[in-house]
Amino acid sequence: MATPLLLALAVIEISDVVFAVDSIPAVFGVTLDPFIVYSSNMFAILSLRSLYSFVSTIMTEMRFLDKAVALVLAFIGAKLVGEFAGVAVPTDVSLMVVGIVLGGGVAASLMLPDEDKVE
């Protein structure tokens, strides 16, 4: 007997598969190896929900992490606009910027805890 919970679970799983299938052309833009395309999408489907639970918990605990993520997204946007304008940012520099900004957000959150949450 099907329950509304089963229907909700089916819709959630179907949406996971739809979003994974949607990213296949992007993966084919990076590699033509079908094993890498298949395995990367399967790992994305399997880890997406558990990673979301982890990130949502961390986001409530780390008060500066949302600002760090916003800075990373702004950097990526500026990098895309720069590439369109002919300015190339090396991959190593991009990884360092992302790591430093996210690490700085975590470090600032640990050193300066939220006054409301301090007991």
Task: Write down the residue that tokens 């833009």 correspond to.
Answer: 29
- Tell me the CA distances in angstroms from 99 to 41, 57, 85, 103, 107, one per residue in order: 24, 20, 25, 6, 12
Same domain for 92 and 116:
yes
Number of domains comprising the chain: 2
56 within 8 A of 100, measured Cβ to Cβ? no
Same domain for 71 and 17:
no
- Tell me the CA distances in angstroms from 56 to 60, 63, 85, 89, 106, one per residue in order: 7, 12, 36, 30, 14
Of 24, 59, 94, the residue at which a domain comes to its end is 59
User: Over its length of 119 residues, how does the chain's per-residue pLDDT go in tens digits?
Assistant: 778 999 998 888 888 778 777 778 888 888 888 898 888 888 877 777 778 788 888 888 888 999 999 999 999 999 999 988 999 889 999 999 999 999 999 999 999 987 776 55
Same domain for 72 and 38:
no
Of 59, 83, 108, the residue at which a domain comes to its end is 59
Q: What residue numbers bound the domain in which 74 lies?
A: 62-119
Of 59, 87, 107, the residue at which a domain comes to its end is 59
